[in-house]
């Protein structure tokens, strides 16, 4: 409130003094100012420039404050969403436990296709609950900080991708620099990093079609401080309107309908990478393919 009123202080002060002088309590002399045109123009220029700079200063401050407020709001939104997901998970666990026990109770008396259908759906819910728990775990748990050999990790990842159904119809390649040195190790929890990269690779396989290429590659930046791991595919690509929502929990893009998954894979990957001090970005062109890039700090 006071900050809002402060700019009016000089005006109020001026008005008060003017009123005082005009009232005749003090002598009110008339001042004549003489100036040549050159000086006058210089002063006018100075005043205009000052006003312009002042305006700019006030403008940037307002924008910055606005941005800060937006960022705060965004963090709050993410927090609220996480809280909601934790509660959702919590509310899912007990019914799933009860349904499973109920299924076990009726399993002997009547077992048929209907029952196994129910079981599949309950397992799906249990899977969702497990993924939600991973997300919550990630925020709370302390991370291991071991040097992780990316070469070994990615080789294992690609081996695993090749064992997946549908892998034979895709060209899966691993591109690692060997000369003069392989990518440096990153610091972190190997199991979690594997999970994150596995989810990205899994998406590349799920959303690409027979005949597409999937490539996993890693390289370090020129200063040797960061390693980038990319998972690229020549799949159908992601429409522009889906891109901003990709990391959101439970978001399923238009192409994801009918594809198996909980809608948490990418959110989990994102959370893991963030916890490791890294970042994740997606580039995609419809009809050409998608590159997901993960930047991780090199282990010191």
Considering the complex, what minimum distance in angstroms separates the CB of residue 51 from other proteins? 57
Record the tokens describing residue 178, joined without a space: 């060997």
Contact pick of 140, 168, 179, 210 for other proteins (by CB under 8 A): 140
Residue selected from 101, 114, 120, 179 as contacting other proteins according to rule CB under 8 A = 101
Helix (H) or strand (E) segment spanning residue 43: helix 37-106
Residue list 238-297, contact with other proteins (CB under 8 A): none
Q: How far is CA 168 from CA 24, 86, 164, in A?
A: 100, 38, 8
Which residue from 16, 48, 54, 98 is in contact with other proteins, where contact means CB under 8 A? 98
User: Residue 119 or residue 283: which is nearer to other proteins going by CB?
Assistant: 119
DSSP symbols for 97-151: HHHHHHHHHHTTT--SHHHHHHHHHHHHHHHHHHHHHHHHHHHHSPPP-EEE-HH
x/- letters, 148..187, toward other proteins (CB under 8 A):
--------x---x---------------------------
Site for other proteins (CB under 8 A): which residue of 118, 195, 213, 250?
195
3-state secondary structure of 243: helix
Which residue reads 């799949």 in tokens?
235
The Cα-based distances of 110 to 98, 105, 118 in angstroms read 18, 10, 13
Q: Which helix (H) or strand (E) holds 197?
A: helix 190-207
Give the residue, chosen from 134, 206, 252, 283, that forms a contact with other proteins under the rule CB under 8 A: 134
Least distance from C-beta 246 to other proteins, angstroms? 20
What is residue 184's three-state secondary structure? coil
Whether residue 197 contacts residue 161, with contact meaning beta carbons closer than 8 Å, is answered with no
Q: In what order do the strands lie in the sheet with 279-285?
A: 171-175, 213-220, 226-233, 289-297, 279-285
Q: In the bound complex, what is the minimum distance in angstroms from residue 283's beta carbon to other proteins?
A: 26
Closest to other proteins by CB, 12 vs 130, is 130
Q: Return the range that interacts with other proteins (CB under 8 A); candidates 28-36, 59-67, 191-199, 223-231.
A: 191-199
Closer to other proteins by CB, 149 or 274: give it.
149
Q: For residue 60, give every residue at least 6 positions away whose Cβ sits within 8 Å of its Cβ, in sequence order, or none.
A: none
The two structure tokens encoding residue 231? 């998972």
Which residue number, 127 or 283, has a Cβ lying nearer to other proteins?
Answer: 127
Is residue 129 close enough to count as binding other proteins by CB under 8 A? yes
Supply the minimum distance, in Å, between the C-beta of residue 131 and other proteins.
8
Per-residue x/- marks for other proteins, 58-97, CB under 8 A? Answer: ----------------------------x--xx-xxxxxx
Size of the site for other proteins (CB under 8 A): 36
* Number of residues that make up the chain: 300
Instruction: For the chain, count helices (H), then strands (E).
Output: 7, 7
Which residues make up the interface to other proteins (CB under 8 A)?
86, 89-90, 92-98, 100-102, 104-105, 126, 129-130, 132-134, 136-137, 140-142, 144, 146, 156, 160, 190-191, 194-195, 198, 202
């Amino acid at each position: 409130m006071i900050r809002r009123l402060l700019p009016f202080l000089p005006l109020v002060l001026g008005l008060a003094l003017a009123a005082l002088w005009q009232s005749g309590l003090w002598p009110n002399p008339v001042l004549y100012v003489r100036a040549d045109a050159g000086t006058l123009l210089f002063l006018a220029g100075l005043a205009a420039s000052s006003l312009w700079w002042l305006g700019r200063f006030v403008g940037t401050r307002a924008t910055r404050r606005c941005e800060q407020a937006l960022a705060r709001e965004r963090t709050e939104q993410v927090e609220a969403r996480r809280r909601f997901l934790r509660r959702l998970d919590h509310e899912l666990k007990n019914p799933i436990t009860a349904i499973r026990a109920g299924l076990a109770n009726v399993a002997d008396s009547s077992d048929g296709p209907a029952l196994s259908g129910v079981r599949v759906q309950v397992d799906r819910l249990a899977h969702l609950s497990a993924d939600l728990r991973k997300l919550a775990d990630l925020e709370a748990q302390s991370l291991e900080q071991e040097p992780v050999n990316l070469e070994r990790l990615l080789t294992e990842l690609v081996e695993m991708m090749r064992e997946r159904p549908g892998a034979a119809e895709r060209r899966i390649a691993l591109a690692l620099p060997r000369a003069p040195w392989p990518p440096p190790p990153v610091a972190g929890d190997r199991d979690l990093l594997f999970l994150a990269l596995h989810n990205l690779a899994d998406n590349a396989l799920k959303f690409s079609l027979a005949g597409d290429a999937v490539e996993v590659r890693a390289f370090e930046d020129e200063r040797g401080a960061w390693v980038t791991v990319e998972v690229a595919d020549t799949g159908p690509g992601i429409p522009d309107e889906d891109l901003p929502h990709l990391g959101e929990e439970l978001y399923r893009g238009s192409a994801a309908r009918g594809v198996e998954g909980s809608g948490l894979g990418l959110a989990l990957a994102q959370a893991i990478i963030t916890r490791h001090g890294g970042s994740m970005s997606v580039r995609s062109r419809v009809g050409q393919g998608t590159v997901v890039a993960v930047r991780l700090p090199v282990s010191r």
